[in-house]
């Protein structure tokens, strides 16, 4: 396995091949989020606006706030569109729902830039479409996102919040080339088996099966070494790349997930019972990865008090700095968006009796590849919390990072 610095240098050379050298902003595809009010309208198309609002009130919903946030988002959406038009850019506007269901490769290739407007969920959806599997050419379409409501949404994947106050400034800088390119690593998931078939995925946003005609991938024969190592004949790449993470675990969260892992193609098979496996990128390290692994000042204080000299002067001083210690630890969980490594985390691993096997198996570590075999009853493999594939007993998947899969984004400041 290559060391981290060597791997990053290798990937940086590959990233350069996919960095535009003559970027010109002429056409922008704006992908706007579905507001809560629009979502409720889709759920109840038979109701008039007055009837819908009454239904929401009967449910206990703060209708005035829902309508206010809807207006805030739509007003900001218009400002973003106008900002691109003001610099001579042709704009096409698509809702999040339309974007997921009906946009073709032609529309994706038409755009010079994809502009998600909303929150991180809208950005992740847009990133899913800005994939080599959707493109008609090797030229990548970059993404730059605007947070439409920074008061109520963190929007870590979007431009800094001050550009929500002045989107025209950001658009002007993009038009003039005053920005930097950022390549965000993504997880490629390959299913291994005997026939190369992919189970039908589910769109967790719409709770419907996903049609994959536009993004079909062909099954391939495994080479002899891989076939022998993983007891499979065929492989097939899933037609979606994960920008944040891939999660594997039982559908019912109260049920134990039984998984086998092989790290970096080693000979050791690691067996675990847990609440699921999360394999994160650097981009995703600010999200679920941190939520799983973070500690609180209370955790630090409890640990220090448990020491034999817990009441000593030095330990008491450290306990006074418990919040700072916890903050430093949590910041250490983060890694760069262009980092070519993955970090896997085992959620709530059972550590009694024979589990895990071997006992030295780490519940979190950096790797380049993760092979996973399921011994679950009703499990799923979920990409960015959005697309879910069945992953039950006997299912096998290989998770890895390739430089050509990286998401090209525009960074300001």
According to DSSP H, which parts of 254-296 are helical? 288-293
Last residue of a domain, one of 142, 176, 210: 176
Same structural domain, 162 and 231: no
pLDDT at residue number 145: 97
Same structural domain, 273 and 320: no
Query: Considering the domain boundaries, does residue 14 fall inside one?
Result: no
Query: Considering the domain boundaries, does residue 242 fall inside one?
Result: yes
pLDDT at residue number 96: 72
Query: Considering the domain boundaries, does residue 268 fall inside one?
Result: yes
Distance of CA 223 to the CA centre of its chain: 30
Query: Considering the domain boundaries, does residue 231 fall inside one?
Result: yes
Same structural domain, 35 and 156: yes
Nearest to residue 29, comparing CAs of 137, 124, 130, 170? Answer: 130
Task: For residues 303-330, give the mean pLDDT.
Answer: 92
Q: Which of 197-211, 222-236, 359-373 has the highest mean pLDDT?
A: 359-373
What CATH number should be reported for the domain holding residue 264? 2.60.200.30
pLDDT at residue number 213: 44
Same structural domain, 353 and 390: yes
Number of domains the chain contains: 3
Query: Considering the domain boundaries, does residue 1 fall inside one?
Result: no
pLDDT at residue number 200: 86
What span, in angstroms and rounded, lies between the C-alpha atoms of 67 and 40? 11
Same structural domain, 201 and 273: yes
Same structural domain, 392 and 354: yes
Task: For residues 224-242, give the mean pLDDT.
Answer: 93
Answer whether residue 137 shows pLDDT above 60: no
pLDDT at residue number 209: 62
pLDDT at residue number 118: 95
pLDDT at residue number 208: 61
pLDDT in tens, 264-306: 999 999 999 999 999 999 999 999 999 999 999 999 999 999 9
pLDDT at residue number 313: 87
Q: What is the number of other CB atoms lying within 10 angstroms of the CB of residue 317?
A: 10
pLDDT in tens, 151-165: 988 889 999 999 999
DSSP-assigned states of every residue in 303-343: HHHTSTTTTSHHHHHHHHTHHHHHHHHHHTT---TT---EE
Answer whether residue 214 shows pLDDT above 70: no
Q: Can you read off the two tokens belonging to residue 191? A: 């299913």
pTM for this prediction = 0.92
pLDDT at residue number 136: 45
Same structural domain, 365 and 400: yes
The secondary structure of the chain in percent helix, strand, coil, rounded to multiples of 5, reads 35, 25, 40
Same structural domain, 355 and 399: yes
* Placement of tokens 């099966």 in the chain: 209
Q: What is the CA radius of gyration of the chain?
A: 23
Last residue of a domain, one of 176, 203, 219: 176
Same structural domain, 145 and 216: no
**Positive or negative torsion for Cα 348, 350, 352, 355:** negative
pLDDT at residue number 210: 62
Query: Considering the domain boundaries, does residue 288 fall inside one?
Result: no
Query: Considering the domain boundaries, does residue 236 fall inside one?
Result: yes
pLDDT at residue number 140: 85
What span, in angstroms and rounded, lies between the C-alpha atoms of 161 and 268? 46
pLDDT in tens, 4-49: 788 888 998 889 888 898 999 999 999 999 999 999 999 999 999 9
Same structural domain, 320 and 347: no
Same structural domain, 143 and 91: yes
Length of the chain as a residue count? 413
Binned at pLDDT 50, 70 and 90, residue 330 comes out as: very high
Specify the 3-state DSSP secondary structure of 39: helix
The residue segments making up the domain with residue 390 are 187-282+335-404
Same structural domain, 340 and 323: no
Task: For residues 221-249, give the mean pLDDT.
Answer: 94
As a whole number of Å, the end-to-end CA separation of the chain is 34
Percent of the chain residues topping a pLDDT of 70: 92
* Placement of tokens 């970096």 in the chain: 264
pLDDT at residue number 239: 86
pLDDT in tens, 54-100: 999 999 999 999 999 999 999 999 999 999 999 999 999 988 776 65
Query: Considering the domain boundaries, does residue 319 fall inside one?
Result: yes
pLDDT at residue number 197: 84
Nearest to residue 159, comparing CAs of 171, 181, 144, 173? Answer: 144
């Amino acid at each position: 396995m290559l060391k981290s610095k060597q791997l990053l240098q290798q990937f940086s050379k590959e990233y350069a091949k996919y960095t535009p050298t003559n970027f010109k902003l002429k056409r922008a595809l704006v992908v706007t989020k579905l507001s809560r009010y629009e979502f409720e309208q889709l759920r109840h198309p038979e109701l008039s606006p007055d009837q819908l609002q009454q239904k929401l009130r009967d449910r206990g919903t703060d209708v005035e706030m829902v309508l206010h946030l809807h207006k805030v988002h739509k007003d900001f959406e218009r400002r973003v569109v106008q900002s691109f038009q003001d610099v001579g850019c042709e704009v096409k506007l698509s809702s999040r729902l339309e974007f997921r269901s009906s946009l073709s490769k032609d529309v994706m290739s038409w755009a010079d830039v994809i502009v998600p407007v909303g929150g991180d969920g809208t950005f992740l959806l847009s990133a899913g479409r800005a994939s080599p599997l959707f493109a008609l050419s090797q030229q990548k379409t970059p993404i730059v996102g605007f947070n439409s409501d920074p008061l109520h949404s963190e929007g870590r994947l979007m431009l800094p919040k001050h550009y929500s106050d002045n989107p025209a400034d950001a658009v002007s800088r993009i038009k003039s080339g005053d920005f930097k390119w950022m390549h965000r690593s993504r997880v490629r998931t390959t299913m291994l088996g005997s026939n190369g078939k992919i189970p039908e995925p589910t769109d967790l946003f719409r709770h419907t099966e996903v049609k994959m005609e536009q993004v079909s991938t062909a099954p391939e024969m495994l080479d002899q070494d891989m076939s022998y190592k993983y007891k499979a004949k065929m492989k097939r790449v899933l037609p979606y790349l994960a920008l944040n993470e891939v999660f594997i675990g039982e559908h019912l969260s109260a049920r134990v997930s039984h998984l086998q892992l092989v790290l970096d193609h080693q000979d050791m098979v690691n067996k675990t019972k847990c609440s699921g496996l999360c394999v994160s990128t650097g981009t995703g390290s600010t999200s679920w990865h941190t939520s799983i692994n973070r500690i609180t000042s209370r955790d630090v204080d409890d640990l220090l008090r448990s020491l034999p000299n817990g009441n000593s002067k030095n330990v008491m001083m450290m306990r006074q700095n418990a919040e700072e210690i916890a903050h430093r630890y949590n910041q250490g969980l983060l890694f760069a968006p262009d980092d070519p490594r993955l970090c896997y985390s085992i959620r709530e691993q059972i550590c009694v009796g024979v589990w895990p096997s071997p006992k030295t198996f780490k519940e979190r570590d950096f790797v380049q590849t993760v092979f996973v075999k399921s011994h679950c009853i009703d499990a799923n493999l979920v990409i960015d919390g959005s697309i879910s594939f069945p992953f039950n007993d006997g299912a096998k998947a290989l998770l890895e990072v390739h430089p050509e899969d990286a998401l090209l984004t525009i960074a300001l400041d």
